Amino acid sequence: MKNHLLRNKFGKTTGGTLVLRQGKDELHFSRASGGLIEIKKGKISFAFSKDLLWQLALRDRERKITRLNNQNCESFEPKISNGRLTMAWGLEKLRVEVAIELREGLSYWNIKVDNKTDQALCEVDFPFIGGIGPIGLKQGKEDYLALPWQWGILVQDPLTVIANEQGAPPFWDGHVRRLHELAYEYPGMYSMQFLAYGNAAQKQGLYFGAHDGEANYKCFGFYGQARSRTVDYILKQYPKDLTTPGRSYSMPFAAVVGIYEGNWGAASGIYKRWALGQPWCKRGRISQRRDLPAWAKKVGLWYWNWRYWQRRGEPSEVLPALVDLKKRAKVPLAFHWYGWDDKPCDVDYPEYKLTPKARQRLAAALRQYRREGIRIIPYMNGRLWNIDTACWNAEKAGRYACQKEKLGDDDGNHYYVEPYADRPFVPMCPSTDFWQKKMAAKVETVLDYGVDGVYVDQVSSAAAVLCFARDHGHSVGGNYWYQGYAALMERMRRKVRQRYPEAVFTSESVIECFIGHFDAFLGYQCVAFSFHRMFGPDSTSIPLFTSVYSGFIPLYGTGATIQNEEEFFVGTALDICGGVQPSVQGYFADCVNRPEYEPRLRFLLDWVQKYELVKARLLDAEWIQPDTSGIPTWRVKVGGLGKTLPTICVGAWRNEANEIAVFAVNYTKQKRRMDIGLPEQALRRAASCRVNVIGNENGTAGIELTKAGRLTGLLAPRSIAVAVVS
């Protein structure tokens, strides 16, 4: 089927095309300048309207930027040999070489830039695939863009979202994010290094990946313009020596482009086959990890007070709620605590030394929580310094902050300023010995108060930035950010666990490259509906991170509050089916024994109990994507937005014993019939395909596996069904 992407605006390129072919896969390049103009897999075809492949940014000694691309070179030398396409472009004192080969249905791309000029090569944009238009016949209405933004976002009709005047993105969404772009930095707001542009009706799409096991700093995504119906995919790379004139660049990883058949889960499967072999997975699955304290694996319910941090977690407000939850749930409970110190949220970082009065308050609270067997994880920030504090000047901390490049001789403010709570903060450079020691000491100080671990905010989620400080001992580009924070976390863990071997370290949201450096990730953004405004009104969360890394690190926390009925049921359903451990927020002393909360608590506790029954099966299980096309959708309003969601949310996992555990959640007020197709490959691995329904007290009935491999049955209103196929 030919997709309705715009054709090459130049028509038939002079001299024809260069075709790289293997089996059913073909890549067509312009013979005039080497730009990608078409990609094929059998009868599936995508074409592109710009003859582009790469773009370089070079800067002279006067800071003037010159941009060059494959269309404005003096020479072009293509060659196809042994299933490999090589192309070389020449300018005076500059040579660019690209090598592309097809392997097992995917194309692997690499670039080298030989720079003999007196200019600095400050950015390499490759691949640069220009002129991507709508896929389907409905001009993009059925198209989607699956982004690894935190936990995962599915942007509907992405070209319209990019073309519209949506307003400036919020500051915390990344220092590189701009209007008319769906592009982010990695590591940072992006948790993984791939995206998928597909069409739901045609069940096919384009896979764009950066298979980079060294986690080099990069920016990638779709770049467009106002009112345009085409976008460009660009992978922006930043050489280690990007400020040094005359330095060359050899791409240290492969960019991967290909066609996938299916939905976004097929694209994540491509990435997963590569990703699980990377260094961040070397500690193994959860049950194999020796660095995870045993108590953290046993937690059955997480409580946190993010949206209600103003209540500060005082025992008078929180303890009765925690005791009630623990008594009813009968599982170990942990409290992720905002407001444990004597300051408001988002002020005075990185100071966590308490006044004597505040220490007395905390000690009294901890004694009460300890008596009830509740684990305490307080909030800290691992990235920011509040620059209007006295300690900023006293410790000369500006020397160790991430610094923008100085473009003149002035001594003005060259920091990346972020205004949280109307206070100025700057990201600190993770590579400096100063910041690594500072964070290790601060964490140890907090653990000395008697808590069970720390939540180190913004390390695994928040914008990474380029640091141009000359005396920090790191490169400007490359993978300095990842290496710095990896070293910081390992240094902290080694030092702290000498005294506190059972201390747990968690961080905000999710990111692949720090999986081995934390014990859990706060996965709340799978239901943080307010974030969807940045991605268009019909965007939805998807378990993209779970689809790749399920079983390698625990996820906890919820973006839904129990105080909002509709949001609670919808959000809890998404949590359950996205692989987040049972979690709750917004339940306080004044909520206990109030009749309006009872249906919500029953739903929550049903999840807790069923999760306990199948936890052993799920601990190391991999996420699989079932066919939910038999489940109707409807419109529901959550977070002030109208959402089109399935009436039944579904999540499925397969463990090493080839058992398939399926969670089906009816969050609506009506009975719903489910019809779920399980992957044929997963069913073939199962021993007998017997169905065991776990915990059937809530009215769910008649669940069976048909000969066609579909789970069917009737789900009671606001119920959770767990079926294990073995």
Give 427's contacts (C-beta < 8 A, 6+ positions apart): 383, 384, 401, 402, 416, 418, 462, 463, 465
DSSP 371-409: HTT-EEEEEEESSEEETTSHHHHHTTGGGGB-BPPP-SS
CATH of the domain at 275: 2.70.98.10
Q: Is residue 144 part of a domain?
A: yes
Predicted pLDDT at 559? 87
Percent of the chain at pLDDT > 90 equals 70
In our burial notation (b when 16+ CB lie closer than 10 A, e otherwise), range 326-356 reads beebebbbbbbbbbbbebeebebbbbbebee
DSSP tag of 142 = T
CA distance 158 to 222: 9
Residue 308's pLDDT is 65
pLDDT band at 20 (very low <50, low <70, confident <90, very high): very high
Q: For residue 409, tell me if it sits in a domain.
A: no
Question: What are the structure tokens assigned to 702, written together?
Answer: 């008649």
For residue 127, being part of any structural domain is answered with yes
pLDDT at 175: 82
Cis peptide before 127 (omega within 30 of 0): yes
Per-residue pLDDT band for 596 (boundaries 50, 70, 90) equals very high
Q: Which two tokens stand for residue 512?
A: 């692949």
Instruction: Output DSSP code: residue 5.
Output: P
What was the pLDDT predicted at 406? Answer: 73
Structure tokens at 397: 């901390």
Do the domain assignments include residue 434? no
Would you state the pLDDT for residue 1?
A: 38
Q: State the chain's mean pLDDT as an integer.
A: 90
pLDDT tens profile 55-79: 999 999 888 999 999 998 999 999 9
Return all residues near 340 (Cβ < 8 A) that are at least 6 apart. 312, 313, 362, 365, 376, 378, 379, 451
The first and second tokens of residue 610, run together, are 């069923």
Alpha-helical regions (H) of 224-302: 264-275, 294-298
Q: 3-class DSSP state for residue 361?
A: helix
Residue 133 lies in a domain: yes
Residue 411 reports pLDDT greater than 70 = no
Q: Per residue in 99-119, pLDDT tens?
A: 999 999 999 999 999 999 999
Domain with 141 in it: 17-280
Could you identify the residue written with the tokens 């990474």? 464
How many independent structural domains does the chain possess? 1
The per-residue pLDDT for range 149-165, each reduced to its tens digit, is 999 999 999 999 999 87
Cα atoms in the Cβ-side hemisphere of radius 13 Å centred on 286 = 25
Least confidently predicted of 178-187, 218-227, 304-313, 458-467: 304-313
* Residue 290, in any domain of the structure: no
> Highest mean pLDDT range out of 131-140, 342-351, 597-606?
597-606
Q: Where are the alpha helices (DSSP H) in 280-403?
A: 294-298, 315-329, 356-371, 390-394
Query: Looking at this protein, which amino acid is placed at residue 59?
Result: R
Q: What is the pLDDT of residues 114-131, one digit of tens each?
A: 999 999 999 999 999 999
Inside any domain, residue 238 = yes
β-sheet bridge partners, residue 190: 149
135 domain residue, yes or no: yes
Over residues 248-259, the pLDDT tens digits come to: 999 999 999 999
